[in-house]
Structure 1
Amino acid sequence: MLDKLAAITQRLSPGLRQIIGNTSWLFADKIFQLGLGLVVGIWVARYLQPQDYGLLTYALTFVSLFGAITRLGLGTIVIRDIARDPAGKDETLGTAFTLQLIGGVLTLVLTVSLVSLLKPNELLTRWLVGIVATGTIFNAFRTIDYWFQSQILAKYIVVANNLASAIYAVLRIILIRLQATVIAFAWAGLAESALRGLGMVIAYHVHGNQMRRWRFSFHRAKALLRESWPLILSGLAVYVYSKIDQVMLGSLLSDTTQLGYYSVAVKLSEIFDFLPMIIYQSVFPKFSSLKEQDPDEYLSKFQMYFDTMALLWIAVAVPVSILSPYIVNILYGKSYAASAPILSIYVWAQFGSNFGVARSAYLAVEGKLHYSLYLSVIGALTNVAINAILIPRFGALGATAATLMTYLLVIVLLNFYFRELRLVGKMIIRSLNFYKSASRLLKLVQ
């Protein structure tokens, strides 16, 4: 068996072997973190029970609403620029780091100010939001991860992330044993953010780089922001149409119990979200160079990329939907039984994640990122409107239905409205013929 796998591997191109190797590292990283995080996360959810777990989820999702300000939409642009111009990496990384540090501080100020206006009498909620938001400042160190992605080198950052995840898991277990309150778990999350930042710095230096060589450039900052501002706005809009349901559940209903049920269903259905992301991280630099070298091969490979996303979606959605009552009962217990019907429906919305990531890669390579803004704004407005109608009447199930309808509109249907995106729409439709999708992918190893 191993001999056959080795023979197949040798028939692949060096570039494809590099992608597979990098993807394997990222896959192993996510499996470790998901396995550890799932076990400890379930323990935390069982300990806190739906209401407190829903309250912690509200703080996390509320802060995430401003994640676009923290990231400033720089990830894809920085990775692309370093891949194209390795000599300018210190200026690019130094400028991106400074901008994201400023974004983290702005996120802290904005979230604390806004939650104080929305919930002036809920001191615990305001503290939770403030602690979680402080962790976004350390996200500036993720700039280092952009460099590793641009070089298709995952193993260094994998070690750093796994160490931080292991320490975070131990902290939460200790808090459960000590019967700590919900606010202690927010502090543990802040500690994890700091540890991840430190781990990335160490990994960067171990690889022979020096952060002190980084330099900030106003000219480079203006260039980055000029290109990334559509991504900042679209990132905010993407969050609104993909995650505002959790914020609205916590705001429109009298308590956070429904949010607790819903967040469990969302967490379970999104367990495999790492798959499209690690594939994206591995193939994106190659697409950028392939477009210039061989346009026909570039489009052929992009179709295979969408085929992969379609097969991943159906492979996850079918078994999870059927087995949802057993999954929820075994993992979370009877107190979360109401999460099962939500999970059985919500898991089908993962086509939005899979195809959305693939489309983002296409828009970035083609220089059409402004469409991300148009699509995201339409999706955000649609999702808020549908959630406002359905949540008061149907609670968490209403939020689930709103997510499915929004994704169908934004990820699939709107591609055919914009002329320059019709090719993406056709790729998605072709990928839904699962037999032909599998046949095209098998050609990679023949």
Structure 2
Amino acid sequence: MTKHRLLTKIFSSGLQAISVQVLGAFFFYFISVYLSKYDFGVISWTNAVSILITTVLGFGLEQVVVRRVAASRQSDWAATAFFIHSITGFLITFLFLLLLNNIMGTKAGLYKQLPWFFLAQGLIFIGVPLKQFLNAKEKFTPYGVISIISNIGKIAAAWLLLKQGILYINTVLAILICAGVFELVGLLVYLLAKTSFDLKFRFKAYIKLIRESSAQYISVIFDISLSRMDWILLGIMTSTSILADYSFAYRAYELSRLPMLIIAPIILPRFARLLSGNGNINIEYQKYITAFNVVELFFAALIPLILNILWVPVISLITHGKYGSSNSLQFLILSGCIPLQFFINLLWSISFAAKKYKSVSIVTIVCAVTNVCLNLILIPRFGGLGAATAFLGTTLLQALLYYRLVNRQITLISIWPILIFTAEAVGVYFASIQLKINFLLQGLFAVFLYMLITILTRQITRVHINNFKNLLNK
């Protein structure tokens, strides 16, 4: 792959990630400011439950389909099988939720909105096989463009409704459903017109795909519980206002992982091709992976350093004091997961590409059970802080288990970069906040000091950067 093609891949993957994460986050920021904390908490809770349901319906097919389509052009049928599977599962579940809501009647309470938010999330779920087909082919731009139009439309619609004085939960829901329909139709039209994707369903091949994905199905269900079970339990065990504070901080944490989300769909197909043969990694690739680990963790530790310095003054300003101070400690704890998530993403990509499905499932199940237990213990006593602490503890456990898995069964990955860069970022943070200067100057000082320390101690060098690029060029 030439340098030009690599930059094109990164740009197109970044376009997709920005459209989904940044514009999507801006939409939720907008409604979080102009809706009450109660209403925003309801939206957060119903979205979390809907995502959990669609994950259960996905049967673990998403990652398997990406790996299959990326590894061989003969496996394009897998995306079609997943698409038909998604439509069927969505329709059955939506009708069931409507029936259940009708039976509960006035007792539905918080659950009254669930079928309709599931409808919005379900439309996105149906489009996942189409998006993953493009990702496996490393064609990131089409969905990026569709998503940009969709998210800008959502933001514009919310602004117009606000001006008309009719921005409520039901109108937000209507926006989400319309956006879901637009994205699904746009993806389907593009794939049928511009790619080799077809709607021919092969039942026997589908059964084979189900059997392959079943090895990690439980893992996928438990995996989503790591990122949404705290939301669900907060909504049940505390108040929607507490959930609103936590979900706002959590969405900011998710947005801060944007660089990882850009690079993740680029490295997975490479590892899938690399490990599709005998599963061994040669010395040259080992050198590239080591450099990749160093470079990405250098930036991963820098992200929470900057964001925590800016959090209170910036968030308080843009939300008119609604958020910022009220959830600063929650965000501080959650942001400690950022370097760990970058590290986990590399380890998971290698493990999944090497088909270590059973081992990945064991890691995920252990972490998910630990997360639920910690949440049940900590949420009743500490609320959102308890949920954030449970998530940090679980993420640390997950990183250690994946590190053990990869180093024992696949290849050697050093743990020192994440320890060193994180320790330096913590030290620089405390040094920076002691300065009695404007928060922007504090941020600039922190960046300068962090980079100066890492460069002078040669923890990151030009060789690391070149080998980082070489891995992406393969």
TM-score interval (norm. to shorter)? 0.7 to 0.9
- Name the amino acid aligned to 1:316: I
Q: Which residue of 2 aligns with 1:132?
A: 117
CA contact (8 A) 2:120 2:173 kept: no
Q: Which residue of 1 aligns with 2:145?
A: 159
1:281 shift after superposition: 0.8
What CA distance in whole angstroms lies between the structure 1 residues aligned with 2:101 and 2:217? 21
What CA distance in whole angstroms lies between the structure 2 residues aligned with 1:370 and 1:17? 38
Q: Which residue of 1 aligns with 2:346?
A: 358
CA 1:368–1:339: 2 relative to 1, 3 Å:
same
Tell me, yes or no, if structure 1 residue 225 matches structure 2 residue 196.
no
Tell me, yes or no, if structure 1 residue 105 matches structure 2 residue 128.
no
CA contact (8 A) 1:280 1:357 kept: yes
CA 1:64–1:442: 2 relative to 1, 3 Å:
same
Question: What is the SS of the residue equivalent to 2:35?
Answer: helix
Q: Which runs of 5+ in 2 are unaligned?
A: 422-453
Q: Which residue of 2 aligns with 1:235?
A: 220
Q: Which residue of 2 aligns with 1:57?
A: 44
- Name the amino acid aligned to 1:366: A
Aligned pairs, number: 427
Q: Which residue of 1 aligns with 2:172?
A: 185
Matches within 5 A, 1:25-64: 25-64=12-51
Matches within 5 A, 1:206-285: 206-209=193-196, 213-253=198-238, 255-285=239-269
Q: Which residue of 2 aligns with 1:328?
A: 315
What CA distance in whole angstroms lies between the structure 2 residues aligned with 1:150 and 1:422? 23
What CA distance in whole angstroms lies between the structure 1 residues aligned with 2:37 and 2:358? 40
Question: What is the SS of the residue equivalent to 2:167?
Answer: coil
Q: Which residue of 2 aligns with 1:441?
A: 464
1:124 shift after superposition: 5.2
Matches within 5 A, 1:109-128: 123=108, 125-128=110-113
What CA distance in whole angstroms lies between the structure 2 residues aligned with 1:418 and 1:438? 23
What CA distance in whole angstroms lies between the structure 2 residues aligned with 1:372 and 1:68? 17
1:130 shift after superposition: 0.5
What CA distance in whole angstroms lies between the structure 1 residues aligned with 2:329 and 2:407? 38
What CA distance in whole angstroms lies between the structure 2 residues aligned with 1:416 and 1:428? 10
1:187 shift after superposition: 2.4
Q: Which moved more, 1:75-84 or 1:382-391?
A: 75-84
1:39 shift after superposition: 3.6
Question: What is the SS of the residue equivalent to 1:180?
Answer: coil
Q: Which moved more, 1:261-270 or 1:19-28?
A: 19-28
What CA distance in whole angstroms lies between the structure 1 residues aligned with 2:74 and 2:209? 17
What CA distance in whole angstroms lies between the structure 1 residues aligned with 2:400 and 2:173? 37
Matches within 5 A, 1:394-433: 394-413=382-401, 415-416=403-404, 420=408, 423=411, 426-433=413-420
CA contact (8 A) 2:351 2:410 kept: no
What CA distance in whole angstroms lies between the structure 2 residues aligned with 1:205 and 1:122? 45
1:430 shift after superposition: 4.4
What CA distance in whole angstroms lies between the structure 2 residues aligned with 1:406 and 1:111? 31
CA contact (8 A) 2:242 2:384 kept: yes
CA contact (8 A) 1:93 1:144 kept: yes
Tell me, yes or no, if structure 1 residue 381 matches structure 2 residue 403.
no
1:294 shift after superposition: 6.3
1:393 shift after superposition: 1.0
- CA RMSD in angstroms, aligned pairs only: 2.8
Select the residue among 50, 59, 72 that pairs with 2:59.
72
Q: Which residue of 1 aligns with 2:427?
A: none
CA contact (8 A) 1:290 1:298 kept: no
CA contact (8 A) 1:67 1:107 kept: no
* Residues 405-446 of structure 1 deviation map (CA, whole Å, 9 limit, x = unaligned): 11111222564378745856x434445444566335323369
What CA distance in whole angstroms lies between the structure 2 residues aligned with 1:99 and 1:420? 36
1:110 shift after superposition: 6.4
What CA distance in whole angstroms lies between the structure 2 residues aligned with 1:67 and 1:303? 36
CA contact (8 A) 2:138 2:266 kept: yes
Q: Which moved more, 1:46-55 or 1:434-443?
A: 434-443
- Name the amino acid aligned to 1:368: K
CA contact (8 A) 1:149 1:281 kept: yes
Q: TM-score, structure 1 length as denominator?
A: 0.86
Select the residue among 322, 335, 351 that pairs with 1:347.
335
1:261 shift after superposition: 0.6
1:60 shift after superposition: 0.5
What CA distance in whole angstroms lies between the structure 2 residues aligned with 1:115 and 1:244? 22
- Name the amino acid aligned to 1:307: V
Tell me, yes or no, if structure 1 residue 367 matches structure 2 residue 367.
no
- Name the amino acid aligned to 1:298: Y
1:125 shift after superposition: 2.6
CA contact (8 A) 1:352 1:408 kept: yes
Identity level (%): 17
CA contact (8 A) 1:50 1:257 kept: yes
Tell me, yes or no, if structure 1 residue 200 matches structure 2 residue 157.
no
- Name the amino acid aligned to 1:370: K
1:243 shift after superposition: 1.8
CA contact (8 A) 1:259 1:396 kept: yes
Q: Which moved more, 1:273-282 or 1:103-112?
A: 103-112
1:57 shift after superposition: 0.5
What CA distance in whole angstroms lies between the structure 1 residues aligned with 2:92 and 2:259? 31
1:373 shift after superposition: 1.4
Tell me, yes or no, if structure 1 residue 169 matches structure 2 residue 155.
yes
CA 1:343–1:84: 2 relative to 1, 3 Å:
closer
- Name the amino acid aligned to 1:442: I
CA 1:99–1:308: 2 relative to 1, 3 Å:
farther
